[in-house]
Structure 1
């Protein structure tokens, strides 16, 4: 077992991509233990080829790419601004509301940051908002995306943990809205302190005009969630519908043409291949952890040293926050879910509740160095140094950590809606 973990850690520290670290360390273990490498091929085939649900990952990524190129994000932000722009710190609130709406379409924080982020930062700069404030709000609001359905991390967690992806989607709605509410409260406090002036309240006619322009874009989450709740389609079929719907809207808006499709497919492929490679590598790695009984050993370690659920949750949160600082989200979910799931079940924690806790922890990790992918994307779209963004975003990390603790110890926030819907 030491050879597996040691080789993995060594390659990770050396800067090798996580997918290669997983595959090479697993093959090294199989070789020195005289286990046929054919097992590795079988595990990869089973992890990717046999999972219908995993097909939704590239499809949701493609839907996000189409929306960012098809004029949909601009319409969403325009409507959000008309709706809440008159509140103190108006564009900050519009930033958060737009992220909540867009999160019901793309399922990834990076799509939110790269698409909405550029639009939001320009609007806030033109309106005279501080650069630090604008960057922090944009970065923090983007992580709502993988909490509110559809969610690529939720799909992966559901597949690996063997729980309902649809139930995970529904469970993320209230926590996502709660995150937005808490961030908006903090934006209001910051804006008061900075002395940002209120803008004139939009007239009803202006709000209706903005709503009419963005109506079909805003309708996307209702179609996805309503269809799944009504039993009309699965999460994977919902992803297909999201892609088709986004394409139709983009062509109607005349923002993309047929010649743009290959570029969008290439962009989706680039974003998806890395995810699938990690899932494939983690399937071999996870199989080895299972035959070595690592999950059982960690469960026994918890039971023997931790005597109550509260301490167990605190320890798991601390572990996930630390992992999120150094490991990419997909890698962390694929590696840690099989290890930690038996522990949380032993302590009577609902797997759906744990799934949302894990995803939120790792989303906060997207805002923290040294990995912090959202920070790198923000730096790219704003041309602001990475270090400056890190300094600006810390207050929001504190706010989101408070939200995390509330969601952790008030499970009803997560489980209430699935319970009401009889899921």
Structure 2
């Protein structure tokens, strides 16, 4: 049964069938090999979606879209530019810094690409940066949207593996700041070598003015993360607060959202959320069928026997996930693979929170690697360029992030220091 399911799924992926449909068809093939009644499909889909933490996903997506339309993201760009835009390459560094801040609100790399990229890519082009560099930088920086909390993939990992979501959120800060710093250093050196960005300081706001304009934008991550880590709200409740806050600020304080604009924003958010939920539903039934025939246990046993040391296991997992991330959507990869790999990791004595950050960072790379990197297509759409123009600069950013991933993998203190300090 399992070979047939996997074969059908991979063939459909190769034919560019949408991820959710490919997994769903493969699951139906697997169901045909069992004596289970069809009603089991409906039952398992209902069980998969009837989880309170999952409600955070559509609300964080909606909050990100409301921030984009309501001008909060633009104010974050001006704030970041006010602080780092005065040096050569400062506008490129602003891109990374803004994505880092916006990631602490949206939880989605695609939302970050559109919200920040729609402001910064045109600005980069006006200041003489090559279009391929600008688009590649935006795509790579937006990866932070799934690493820095609140992170939708981390929510999915926590649900799939019964790992603490607040602990995963705290652990995401170290890797997020580490990767952000590495990207900023890279672009500053690159701009010095190429001679780009000498006029980046032109037209930027003063620091006091920028802080005043972005005050309400900066309060949003404080409210969200402060509520979660202060034990006041759950991640799901915090996501609802984020929507209400973005709505109030956009409608009544900044007054950049009209009531006519709300329907398109809600429609866009519903479509994005429905796609993710469809993937979760089909991937959960796929996992249920694999569990019935013992595939996760067998895979975990094989992994622990084949890779007897933590170092060898983590290297093998990183290599495998890098390839998987190139072809399979992040949410589906986490739901299908996280339970299997996390069981093997725990048996080897690896902290599941540490392993969760490794898995999320690695699969986030899939968002900027061909052929199915969603951030690439989003950034190319915003920049109005073809993906082939992004490849050369993109390879540099991928190399930097891979270097960071290896450090995160083999230096557990990077993700776990803050978690251990606050939670234990």
Question: Quick check: TM above 0.5?
Answer: yes
Q: Which runs of 4+ in 1 moved over 6 A?
A: 200-205
Please say if residues 66 and 265 of structure 2, whose CA atoms lie closer than 8 Å, have aligned partners that are also in contact: yes
Cα distance, 1:201 vs structure 2: 6.7
Distance 1:121 1:79 in 2: 16
Q: In 2, Cα distance between the equivalents of 1:78 and 1:209?
A: 9
Partner of 1:322: 323
Question: After alignment, is 350-359 or 16-25 more displaced?
Answer: 16-25
What's the counterpart of residue 194 of structure 1? 194
How many residues in Structure 1 have an aligned counterpart in Structure 2? 422
Question: What does residue 400 of structure 1 align with?
Answer: 401
Aligned-residue offset at 1:61: 0.4
- Residue matched to 2:241: 241
Which digits, 9 at most, give the CA deviation of each residue in 1:69-106, with x for residues without a partner?
11111100001001011222110111111111111111
- 1:193-212, aligned counterparts within 5 Å? 193-196=193-196, 198-199=198-199, 206-212=206-212
**Distance in 2, Cα, partners of 1:197 & 1:314:** 38
Matched-pair contact (CA < 8 Å) for 1:367–1:374: yes
In the other structure, the counterpart of 2:49 is: 48
Q: CA deviation at 1:254?
A: 1.2
1:150 matched residue in structure 2:
150
Displacement of 1:300 in angstroms is 1.8
Q: In the alignment, what sits opposite 1:38?
A: 39
Residue matched to 1:385: 386
Q: Report deviation, 1:284.
A: 0.8
State the distance in 2 between where 1:221 and 1:202 align.
29
Q: C-alpha displacement at 1:205, in angstroms?
A: 8.6
Instruction: Kindly indicate whether the alpha-carbon contact (under 8 Å) linking 1:27 and 1:37 is maintained by their aligned counterparts in 2.
Output: no
* CA–CA distance in structure 1, aligned partners of residues 363 and 396 of structure 2: 17
- Partners of 1:113 and 1:80 in 2: CA distance: 16
Q: For residues 9 and 365 of structure 2, what CA distance do their matches in structure 1 show?
A: 24
d(CA) in 1 for partners of 2:244, 2:8: 44
1:377 to partner: Cα distance: 0.6
User: CA contact under 8 A between 1:31 and 1:37: conserved in structure 2?
Assistant: no
- Relative to structure 1, the CA distance from residue 205 to residue 11 in structure 2 (aligned partners, 3 Å threshold; closer, same or farther) is closer
Structure-2 residue corresponding to 1:21: 22
Q: 1:32 to 1:294 in 2, by over 3 A?
A: closer
In structure 2, the CA distance between the partners of 1:7 and 1:132, relative to structure 1 (3 Å rule), is: closer
Does the CA contact (< 8 Å) of 1:60 and 1:107 recur in 2? Answer: yes
Give the match for residue 418 of structure 1: 419
Matched, 1:67 2:61: no
Instruction: Compute the RMSD of aligned alpha carbons.
Output: 1.6
- The 5-angstrom pairing of residues 362-377 of structure 1 reads 362-377=363-378
Residue 221 (structure 2) aligns with? 221
Give the 3-state SS of the residue equivalent to 2:206 in structure 1: helix
Q: Distance in 1 between matches of 2:173 and 2:272?
A: 25
Structure 2 counterpart SS, 1:56: helix
1:264 counterpart residue number: 265
Q: Secondary structure, in 3 states, of the residue corresponding to 1:163?
A: coil
Structure 2 distance, partners of 1:89, 1:323, is: 34
CA contact (8 A) 1:154 1:168 kept: yes
Q: Which 5+ residue runs of structure 1 have no aligned equivalent?
A: none
The question of whether the paired residues in 2 share the 8 Å contact of 1:368 and 1:390 is answered with no
2:312 corresponds to which residue? 311
Deviations 1:298-353 (A, max 9, x none): 12212222221101000000010000011111111111112211111111111111
Deviation, 1:197, is 5.3
Aligned partners of 1:163 and 1:307: how far apart in 2? 23
Aligned to 1:131: 131
Q: Tell me, what secondary structure is at the counterpart of 2:146?
A: coil
Q: Distance between the aligned counterparts of 2:211 and 2:200, measured in 1?
A: 18
CA distance in 2, matches of 1:180, 1:95: 10
TM superposition shift of 1:52: 0.3
SS across alignment from 2:368 = coil
